[in-house]
Structure 1
Amino acid sequence: MNNYSKRNKVKGLLISMFLAGFKKLSRSSRRKLCFSLARTVLKLANKTRHRGIANISAAMPHLTEQEVEALAFISYQNIVFGVVECFYLDQVDFEYQISAEADAILKQGQGASVATMHMGCYEVVPFAMQVLTKRSSTLSKIPVFMPDGKKIYREMGIDCIDKNDSDSLFQLLKAINNKQVVSLHSDHYAKDTQLTFFGRETGAPCGAAILSAYGKVPLLLSFAILQPNGAYKVYVEVIRDTQVETNTDSIHKVTCEIYQRFEQIITEYPEHWYWSYKRWR
């Protein structure tokens, strides 16, 4: 075993021990501990903190320095807690707000492409799609130090495709053809297309629109917000009730529409979106 493999094995063991310890805590205790750890980590992680503050300032120039810093900390706390929540979704309550058009599409038994966001608990939307349809698939970049990283998805009945696989796009299209509801996180930086996000040029992924176009299925948008009562409220709406046209201009146009909606959602719930990575490049 080389040093790289040893390090990954150690990381995997430490994470397993960490999760086992957290499982013994009540959900409210986990939240308090996550919030405390997140605040401490962000205070010490200067690069991450400064990047988050810079992102918020760029997107919301009307906020004061104090408001920007406060938002950076609370959003980071929510994200850290949300990441931990991914491993205990069986202990989480859900509420739903689904448009009539989206509800009809999900009940038709056909495949669908769903654009989602890095808000709170990242895997709430794929899990919600599984609860609603029993046909949920998603794409996730499984860390090399978690060789059984798909386990949490299997336990929830979700078909997880590893982004590291060379044929991941083929697997996604196969899932669509098998009438799966495929959720893709679509708010991160990518080089697929250029668009305007909070008034600034940046790159964005077109995966959700591409799956709709070439899988010949409707395109939905879904996100989840942690409520004061501890439940996650899952919103589902329609971007296109039929497939996106299979040409570059149409895929770009629809991706821009998705991002316009992302802006509205983030503006309404800024404390629930992940600001810390370098979004504008």
Structure 2
Amino acid sequence: MAHRFQYTVISILSAVLQKCGLRCTRKFGKMLGLLLMLQTKRRMITYDNISKAYPGHSDEWKGALVRGAYVNLGITFAEMLYSKALSADDLINQVTFSGLDVVAERARNGLPSILLSGHFGNWEYLAMAAGVCLHKPLTIVVHPQHNAYLDAELNTIRTRFGNIVVPMHKAARTLVRTIQEGGIVAFLADQHASADHDPQIEFFGRPTPTYSAPAALALKFNVPMFLGTAVRHDTGKYSVNVQPVPSADLSDNPESVIELTHRHVAMLESEIRANPHLWSWQHRRWRM
């Protein structure tokens, strides 16, 4: 019953925001983010994550970053509620890419690619816009939401321009088939992984369980891996610089899988350090 109620409230809010326009939606998202800061337990987790990542900074600086991270989260959530009002042209007007031409050329030639991002800026808009720009669907690995109603609604939004979603726990065969058929696979590189089954990769100076599946796929099938993050600008629009993750010197073996995982994690960390307020510090990335 609670899940159904949550879904109903969010559906009504989505309908209202779609009538208000994107600028109004972003203003609402900023206020929503500040409201979410009132949740003490999650705010403390956010502050703790930031404190351990930036131990040399002042409490004032860390507090400002907590606020920025919540504003980003609120805007991203509100934009997703608004997104049903966006056409494909509207979407690519909001998200511009550099470096995506390499992936596009591979797609035109029927060659596979692996795309990585993180919970940074509006990662959902990034995936939708990439599929539109590439004229080819992305097969996106997702963690299902606890609320089945919201999960279905979110996946409807994710797939409205042709992208395909596959739950992480059922992804293996679909990903292999997609790669073999010359498709494009997309992952969020900062998903929480298992300390028992996944390698510990340094992230902001701390050993962090990290999924090795993207690197393992890339090396097993000799597929290039690319990383991009959606940087939000003062206009509200996003720019994404798509960069290749170096792998030419690596082979299909366990040591190389760990090394390639380390490389893409280091690249994501660099992106976060450049715009730390755009990463989702709220989630418990370092829990064991």
Q: TM-score, normalised by structure 1?
A: 0.88
Counterpart AA for 1:63: H
> What does residue 200 of structure 2 align with?
194
**Match for residue 45 of structure 1 among 39, 44, 63:** 39
Q: What are the equivalent positions in structure 2 for 1:3-18 lying under 5 Å apart?
A: 6-18=1-13
CA distance in 1, matches of 2:65, 2:33: 13
> What does residue 84 of structure 1 align with?
78
Asked if 2 retains the 8 angstrom alpha-carbon contact of 1:221 and 1:237, the reply is yes
Counterpart AA for 1:36: M
CA distance in 2, matches of 1:277, 1:195: 17
Shift of 1:168: 1.7
> What does residue 239 of structure 2 align with?
233
In the alignment, structure 1 segments of 5+ residues that lack a partner are 1-5
Counterpart AA for 1:195: I
Change (3 A) 1:103 1:238: farther
Change (3 A) 1:109 1:244: farther
> What does residue 214 of structure 2 align with?
208
Cα-Cα RMSD: 2.2
> What does residue 141 of structure 2 align with?
139
Shift of 1:200: 1.3
In the alignment, structure 2 segments of 5+ residues that lack a partner are none
Q: Secondary structure at the match of 1:155?
A: coil
Counterpart AA for 1:145: Y
CA distance in 2, matches of 1:64, 1:77: 20
Asked if 2 retains the 8 angstrom alpha-carbon contact of 1:220 and 1:237, the reply is yes
Q: What are the equivalent positions in structure 2 for 1:251-266 lying under 5 Å apart?
A: 251-266=257-272
Cα distance per residue 1:74-101 (max 9 Å; x no partner): 1111122113323415444122221775
Q: TM-score, normalised by structure 2?
A: 0.86
Counterpart AA for 1:158: N
1:130 aligned to 2:124? no
Moved more, 88-97 or 191-200: 88-97
